Amino acid sequence: MPWYLVAPRTGKTPYWYVRGKYLGHAINCSTGTGEAVAARRILKTWREQAERGEFGCREAEPKTGTVTFPVAAEAYMLSGGDGQYLEPILLRWPSKPIADIDQIALDTIATGLYPKGTPQTRNRQVYTPVISVLHHSGIEKKFRRPKGWKGNRSTSWLEHEPAMALLKAAYKIEPEFGLLCHFLLYTGMRLDEALTRRLGDLKLDRAFIYLEDSKNENPRGCHLPPHLVQAFIDQPPRKPRDEVVTAAKKGVKGFVKGGRGVGRNVEDAGVAFLKRHSEARLFRFHDGGALRDKLKAAMKACGLSFPKRQGGFHIFCHTYGSWMHRWGELDAHGLTRTGRWSDPSSAFRYVHTMASEEARRSDWLPTPTGGLNVGNRKARR
């Protein structure tokens, strides 16, 4: 029978299988994906390879002991590994032996899959998943990441007065949006972390909020300064979406493009902010264009401008790190102990937002003598 697809079987495998015989190749192979569309693409690719005489399925090589990348990837995902970016790699390597994966193979597939991708994209979507699969299989090869994969380490942050102006503009656009920016600035949370918090995570009596699933995979308890606790207490009930949009249009021109969102109802409208159900999301926003338009409008209203990659919500995280170093007097190790950063090397960038003790010793250097009249014509010549 020609090759055909077998659907995932509950309790046995979450993946589609290919079975049958085609051009002399009898197979019973996992595609390594649970998506029907992807499985059909893999089947098509395998058929084309068989027609070119290039096909070699892992089940066809049991005597050699060869382990292919799809087999290793399946074992990796079944053990709890993240398979988010593995599907396009499996399409390119349907029968690639893991022993043959070297630096050249990895560089080639990354360039082939993402020819216009940034080094960060290639690292995240090719290098990291492939290396994770190999390490899970016991192969400890050393691979070079793409040049520039760590990105630009330059950091933008807000000084005190511009930060306060931005918060005022945000509260003017919408009270809950202002509270979100206020929260991000004084907790250092990432946007996705803040947007997934539940009201039950908030413990105002202890000035505390719990984050069990931070990006660095370590639970974190965040302290809430007194003014932020008061901001939660003072937060008014939500208004219906159409009233919010109208108020925003009057306050900051250009905030809503074409009236986006007009007519939608707001969840828990009219209910006291802190009296909502404990499982309700702390903030009602979703990470998308509408939310980012609000930040752009707030920045425009107070005359702030930053490079494209540094002017988003992450500027609140950078400001938190800079302020904790400057006014909280924390060094890189102290910043790490807040739980916001996983290691001192990640937090060290904020040490550079102030002149170091060593750099300030330039005050000790010999001073000019005899006076310097820079406006004197003879001196200029």
Question: Where are the domains positioned within the chain?
Answer: 1-60, 80-151, 160-353
Whole-model pTM: value is 0.56
User: How far is 22 from 44, CA to CA, in rounded Å?
Assistant: 12
What is 160-353's CATH number, 3.40.605.10, 3.30.460.80, 1.10.630.10, 1.10.443.10?
A: 1.10.443.10
Query: How confident is the model at residue 248, as a pLDDT?
Result: 46
Q: What is the DSSP letter of 290?
A: H
User: Dihedral angle at the C-alpha atoms of 156, 159, 162, 164, nearest 10 degrees?
Assistant: 120
CA 69 → CA 9, 82, 121, 131, 132, distances in Å?
A: 22, 15, 21, 11, 12
Query: How confident is the model at residue 341, as a pLDDT?
Result: 61
Cβ atoms within 10 Å of 269's Cβ, excluding its own? 14
User: How far is 91 from 38, CA to CA, in rounded Å?
Assistant: 8
pLDDT in tens, the chain (381 residues): 688 898 888 767 777 888 888 887 788 777 767 778 877 888 887 888 778 776 655 444 433 346 889 988 988 888 788 888 999 999 889 888 888 898 988 998 998 899 888 888 899 999 999 999 999 888 888 899 988 776 655 567 888 999 999 999 999 999 999 999 999 999 988 898 899 999 999 999 999 898 876 555 567 788 899 999 999 999 999 887 644 444 444 555 444 444 444 446 777 888 899 999 999 999 999 888 889 899 999 999 988 877 665 668 888 888 888 888 888 887 777 777 777 766 666 666 666 666 666 666 767 777 776 655 655 555 444
User: How far is 54 from 47, CA to CA, in rounded Å?
Assistant: 10
